[in-house]
C-alpha cells in the first residue's frame, strides 16, 4: 500500500511538472510582443544609406501590432519627407518634392512577415520560432536616383545648354590692348546634390529610429559645377601682352606688282604671330606658311651679290622690318645676316636677309611674357608692331656707322665688238662697306648701356668692262668659267 502511494505521488508530481512546463511553454509561445532586443533597420551592404547603431528601430517588448505600425510610420516619414531646391541669384526658381517622388522607397514587408509569424502555428512551432527570432529585422530601403536626376533636369536642364566662351584680346586701331571677359558655363552637380539629400535622409532615419520628429530642413541651393573655358580672362592677361612695345615701318611703294605681292603676302602670314616666353621665332616657318596660303610671284632677287630675276623678291623686307622692331624691343638675335648688297628701304647694318636652305632669321622671345607680332600694309608702307611687356620707362635707339669703305674692283668680259687694245665700260662699280650697328638702352630718357649689335660687310660691285677676246687674260677667263654656289637672297629657290 505504501508503495502505491509513493508511485501515485510521483505520478502526480510528473503531471504537475509537465503541466507547469507546458503552461510556461504555452505562455511563451502565445506572447503577443516582439522578443526583447529585436531591432529593425537597413542592411549596410545595400549601400543606399550610411547605417549606424542609431539607425535601427528598437522593437523589443512592443506588441506585434505596435511594432508593425511603427515600421509603417517610419517608412511613411522617410518617403514623405520633402526636399526643396532653389537656384541662387536674383531669378530664383524653387521646387519641392517628396522623397518618394525623388525615387526613395522603403519596403517593410519582410519585417512585417517576420513579426506575423510570431502568431502562426502550434505552441511548439511558435515557441521554437520565437526562441530563434532574429535580433535584427531588415528594412529594404532603395533609392532610384535617376528619378531625382529627371526631376531636376526637367526644371534646370537648360543651364547645361550653354558652352563656356574664351576671353579675347583685341588690339584697337590706336594700338591699345583691350580684353573681353570669358563666360563660364554651368553643369548640374548631381553628385553633390545626391550626397546632400542622402545625408538628410540618413539624419531623418536616425531621428525616426530614436522616436524623434524629422527636423525641419532648409532649402537646398542647387549645386552647380562651374566649367571654365580654356582661356579665362586672368589666364589671358597673365600672358603679358600689355601694350605696344616696339614698331618699325619701311616703304615698298616703288616695288613692282610681283614684289608688292610678296611683301604683302609674307606680312599677312606674320600677322598675329604669337610667341610664348622663351619661344624661338623662325622666319622659315613664315615663308612656308606664305607659300602654302598665297604663293610667291616673280620679282628681283640677289644671286651671288647681283640683282637678277627670281621668285619671291621682297620677302626680306618683311624680315628686315621685323628685325628692326625686335631690336627696338630689346630682343637678342639668334640667327641674322645682312644682305650681300645694301637695300634701299633701310640704312646699312639694319637689314636681315633670308636665303632658303642657307640663311635664316631667328630670335628668341626673351621678354619673359607672351609677345604678339602684328603687321600692317597700307599706302606702300609696311609696319611691324610688337605687343608685349616692357617697362614704360625703358626704350632703345639704333645707330649704324660706316667704319670702312671697300673700293670696287674691275671685271673684264671678252666681246668681239671691242677693238683690240681698247675696252668699253658696261656698268660702273659700286663701293662696298663695313658697317657697325649699335643699340643704346635708355631708362627715363638717359642712356644706361650701349652694345654693338653687328658688324656687317656689303660687297663692292666691280666695274664691268668689255674687252677684245685677244686681250682677255687666260686666268680671268678661268675665273669667269668657275661655278659658284647659288645663294638666292630675298627670294625662294622654288
> If you average pLDDT over residues 96-107, what whole number do you get?
94
Return the minimum-mean-pLDDT range out of 63-67, 89-93, 236-240, 373-377: 89-93
As given in the structure block, the three cell numbers for residue 212 are 524623434
Beta strands across the sheet bearing 82-86: 94-98, 82-86, 220-221
Cβ pair 36, 60 in contact under 8 A: yes
Distances (CA, A) of 341 to 167, 236, 301, 412, 452: 46, 43, 11, 21, 21
CA distance 456 to 434: 6
Residue with the bigger pLDDT between 396 and 13: it is 396
**CA 56 to chain CA mean position, Å:** 50
pLDDT of residue 494: 64
Using a pLDDT cut of 70, give the percent of the chain over it: 90
pLDDT of residue 104: 93
CA distance 393 to 254: 37
Given a cut of 90, whether residue 157 has pLDDT beyond it is yes
Helices (H) and strands (E) in the chain, counts: 11, 27
Determine whether 452 is exposed, middle or buried from the number of CB atoms within 10 Å of its CB (0-12, 13-18, 19+): exposed
Query: Which run of H or of E encompasses 387?
Result: strand 381-388
Dump strand ranges (E) for 391-485.
394-406, 410-414, 423-427, 432-443, 446-458, 463-467
- 412-444 residue pLDDT tens: 888 878 778 788 888 888 999 999 999 999 999
As given in the structure block, the three cell numbers for residue 378 are 597700307
pLDDT of residue 367: 96
3-state secondary structure at position 236: helix
> If you average pLDDT over residues 318-328, what whole number do you get?
98
Given a cut of 60, whether residue 287 has pLDDT beyond it is yes
> If you average pLDDT over residues 90-95, what whole number do you get?
80
pLDDT of residue 448: 97
N- to C-terminal Cα separation, the chain: 145
pLDDT of residue 69: 93
Given a cut of 70, whether residue 485 has pLDDT beyond it is no
3-state secondary structure at position 465: strand
Tell me the pairing of strands 177-180 and 185-188.
Answer: unpaired
What is the DSSP secondary structure assignment for residue 235, as one 8-state letter?
H
Tell me the pairing of strands 243-251 and 136-143.
Answer: unpaired
Greatest mean pLDDT range, 9-13, 19-23, 129-133:
129-133
Cβ pair 391, 303 in contact under 8 A: no
CA distance 49 to 195: 10
Cβ pair 101, 147 in contact under 8 A: yes
Dump strand ranges (E) for 263-329.
273-275, 280-282, 298-303, 306-311
pLDDT of residue 195: 93
> If you average pLDDT over residues 459-467, what whole number do you get?
89
- Among 203, 193, 253, 255, which residue's Cα sits nearest to residue 225? 193
Distances (CA, A) of 76 to 145, 163, 195, 293, 430: 19, 42, 22, 73, 106
Amino acid at each position: 500500500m505504501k508503495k502505491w502511494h509513493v508511485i501515485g505521488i510521483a505520478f502526480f508530481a510528473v503531471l504537475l511538472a509537465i503541466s507547469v512546463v507546458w503552461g510556461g511553454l504555452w505562455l511563451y509561445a502565445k506572447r503577443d510582443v516582439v522578443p526583447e532586443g529585436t531591432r529593425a533597420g537597413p542592411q549596410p551592404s545595400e549601400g543606399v544609406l550610411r547605417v549606424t547603431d542609431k539607425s535601427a528601430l528598437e522593437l523589443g517588448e512592443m506588441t506585434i501590432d505596435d511594432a508593425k505600425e511603427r515600421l509603417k510610420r517610419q517608412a511613411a516619414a522617410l518617403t514623405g519627407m520633402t526636399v526643396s531646391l532653389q537656384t541662387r541669384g536674383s531669378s530664383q526658381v524653387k521646387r519641392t518634392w517628396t522623397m518618394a517622388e525623388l525615387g526613395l522607397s522603403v519596403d517593410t514587408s519582410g519585417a512585417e512577415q517576420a513579426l506575423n509569424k510570431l502568431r502562426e502555428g502550434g505552441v511548439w512551432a511558435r515557441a521554437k520560432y520565437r526562441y530563434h527570432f532574429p535580433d535584427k529585422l531588415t528594412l529594404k530601403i532603395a533609392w532610384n536616383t535617376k528619378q531625382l536626376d529627371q526631376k531636376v533636369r526637367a526644371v534646370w536642364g537648360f543651364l547645361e545648354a550653354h558652352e563656356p566662351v574664351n576671353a579675347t584680346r583685341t588690339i584697337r586701331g590706336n594700338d591699345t590692348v583691350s580684353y573681353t571677359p570669358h563666360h563660364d558655363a554651368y553643369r548640374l552637380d548631381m553628385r553633390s546634390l545626391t550626397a546632400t539629400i542622402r545625408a538628410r535622409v540618413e539624419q531623418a532615419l536616425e531621428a525616426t529610429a530614436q522616436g524623434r520628429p524629422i527636423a525641419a530642413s532648409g532649402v537646398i541651393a542647387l549645386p552647380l559645377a562651374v566649367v571654365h573655358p580654356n582661356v579665362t580672362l586672368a589666364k589671358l592677361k597673365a600672358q603679358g601682352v600689355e601694350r605696344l612695345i616696339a614698331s618699325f615701318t619701311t616703304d615698298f611703294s616703288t616695288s613692282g606688282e610681283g614684289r608688292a605681292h610678296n611683301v604683302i603676302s609674307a606680312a599677312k602670314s606674320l600677322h598675329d604671330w604669337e610667341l610664348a616666353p622663351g619661344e624661338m621665332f623662325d622666319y622659315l616657318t613664315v615663308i612656308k606658311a606664305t607659300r602654302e596660303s598665297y604663293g610667291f610671284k616673280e620679282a628681283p632677287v640677289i644671286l651671288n651679290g647681283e640683282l637678277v630675276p627670281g621668285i619671291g623678291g621682297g620677302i626680306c623686307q618683311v624680315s628686315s622690318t621685323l628685325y628692326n622692331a625686335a631690336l627696338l624691343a630689346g630682343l637678342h638675335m639668334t640667327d641674322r645676316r645682312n644682305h650681300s648688297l645694301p637695300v634701299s628701304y633701310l640704312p646699312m647694318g639694319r637689314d636681315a636677309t633670308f636665303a632658303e636652305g642657307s640663311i635664316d632669321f631667328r630670335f628668341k622671345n626673351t621678354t619673359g611674357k607672351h609677345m604678339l607680332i602684328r603687321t600692317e600694309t597700307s599706302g606702300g608702307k609696311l609696319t611691324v608692331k610688337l605687343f608685349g611687356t616692357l617697362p614704360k620707362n625703358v626704350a632703345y635707339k639704333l645707330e649704324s656707322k660706316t667704319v670702312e669703305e671697300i673700293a670696287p674692283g674691275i671685271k673684264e668680259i671678252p666681246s668681239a665688238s671691242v677693238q683690240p687694245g681698247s675696252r668699253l665700260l658696261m656698268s660702273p662699280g659700286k663701293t662696298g662697306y663695313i658697317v657697325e650697328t649699335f643699340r643704346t638702352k635708355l631708362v627715363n630718357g638717359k642712356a644706361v648701356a650701349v652694345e654693338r649689335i653687328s658688324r656687317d660687310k656689303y660687297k663692292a660691285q666691280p666695274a664691268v668692262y668689255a674687252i677684245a677676246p685677244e686681250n682677255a687674260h687666260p686666268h680671268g677667263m678661268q675665273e669667269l668659267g668657275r661655278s659658284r654656289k647659288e645663294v638666292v637672297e630675298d627670294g625662294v629657290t622654288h
